[in-house]
A = this chain, B = another copy of it.
């Protein structure tokens, strides 16, 4: 076999979470990642509106915001990946929805034989009936539910037996979310169960004979008091997220250990890192942009 080809993708999509911080978040993620000689490919994404007024005027498009933009980027992402034909993919997102096309493509490549570890505080199985931001629907789309149109972009099929959550907070799940999780019998490793070891996930890999795995790392699986580049650590929130939505309980060390344990038991064919919202870097950037001597 030829040497395996890994590509890195910068996917600065922000429309799925409707927050203008995602593009900087994805670029900063890439900047912080270990240096690499791998090709870095950027998925074209429309720039967010600069004016606050225009940003707030967003309209629903058949139940979700920015549907058209999102689908355009997803179609483009698939073309780009197909053209590259990699064996493995790293994705620097962007909102959670950026995982869908890379996961689908790689699963097709490996003959529908890829498992999914979904490291996330939230289940991401909502539908347009429940919410307007499509980043909360991505795992639903992947499993054939979520948003019908977004889901119809899937070409491969994932076995729900080969899908597991890590770090999910069950307290606060809605009835709709519980229904999806129960119907698909999705396994869950709670933050508490992953505190000292990755046993539950390792057992699942063994039980289901998961030889290839795609890992979705939604950074909001992390405790926002310890890692603050997250929605739940917005220093000037317009909406009190923490009081209304469950927030993360895991540490970066735990996530590192989980991913390393998984990497030693299965072939990691895709890693998608999402929801990096660096408020401090963005606020500092805006301040620096305002200073005359820095614009010479």
Contacts and interface: CB of A to CB of B under 8 A. Distances in A.
Interface string A216-243: 0001000001111100010110000000
Given A32-B288, A235-B225, A90 B293 contact: yes
A256 B235 CA distance: 18
A81 to B, nearest CB: 16
A267 to B, nearest CB: 10
Contact of A252 (B33, B255, B286, B296): B286
B252 A28 contact: no
A182 interface: no
Contact of A34 (B33, B90, B289): B289
B287 A256 contact: yes
A293 B228 contact: no
Chain A interface bracket (under 10, 10 to 19, 20 to 34, 35 or more): 35 or more
Nearest to A276: B284
A38 B296 contact: yes
User: How many chain copies does the complex carry?
Assistant: 2
A294 B90 contact: yes
A278 interface: yes
A263 interface: yes
Given A278-B280, A280-B280, A294 B34 contact: yes
Interface in A196-231: 219, 225-229
Contacts of A36: 294-296
- Shortest beta-carbon contacts, A-B, top 10: A252-B287, A32-B285, A263-B292, A256-B290, A226-B235, A33-B288, A6-B296, A256-B287, A229-B280, A268-B293
Interface of A: 6, 28-29, 31-34, 36, 38, 88, 90, 219, 225-229, 233, 235-236, 252-253, 255-256, 259-260, 263, 268, 271, 273, 276, 278, 280-281, 283-296
